[in-house]
Amino acid sequence: MSIENEMSVVKKVLNGEVQAFEILVLKYQSPIYNLMFRIFRDENEADDIAQEAFLKAFKKLNKFRGGRFFSWLYALSLNVARDRLRSKKKFDDLFYVPENIADYPDMTNEIKVMEDMRDAEKLYTLIENLPLGYTEPLLMRFREDLSLKEVAELTGLGLSGTKMRIQRGLAMLRKRLEEQND
């Protein structure tokens, strides 16, 4: 669906044609459900949280400022998931390294340190305590397995800015892990 078509649907919904929102739900329910399933690893919970994300998107549709609707919905959905994780203290499989890590040889040492750490709750706490500008790109890239381009689009950073944030975030995380292990 083109940006123009998405904006047309959004305008219809905002003008009272609430049933038009179903077009957006049908278009994006599968990727949002898949996102939630990757995070929560439970079909029922993924379905519930995906519905919660769409409900929140519907309620906040007047805050959508244009651009790709999916990028806005994805970011909003990540926030819903993050809120649920915080409220339920769900840390299982929270942070993993994708198989294509060989594409990032300059990050290999930092990733190795993270792979060696088995206590997901401590790791999550460390990640959460990084500045937000570093936390979000790290989680999107490694927990959600998004490409650097997708992370750049969702965060509004350029590609080089995204790479820099991820590298610096990993360096900060490595330093904090080393401090904990001393």
Per-residue pLDDT tens digits for 97-156: 445 444 544 555 555 444 444 456 677 677 777 887 888 788 778 776 778 988 888 778
What class has domain 6-93?
Answer: mainly alpha
Q: Report d(CA 166, CA 140) in Å as an integer.
A: 10
pTM above 0.75, yes or no: no
The domain limits of the chain are 6-93, 98-181
Contact between residue 123 and residue 114 where contact means Cβ atoms under 8 Å apart: yes
What class has domain 98-181?
Answer: mainly alpha
Contact between residue 143 and residue 39 where contact means Cβ atoms under 8 Å apart: yes
3-class state of residue 51 by DSSP: helix
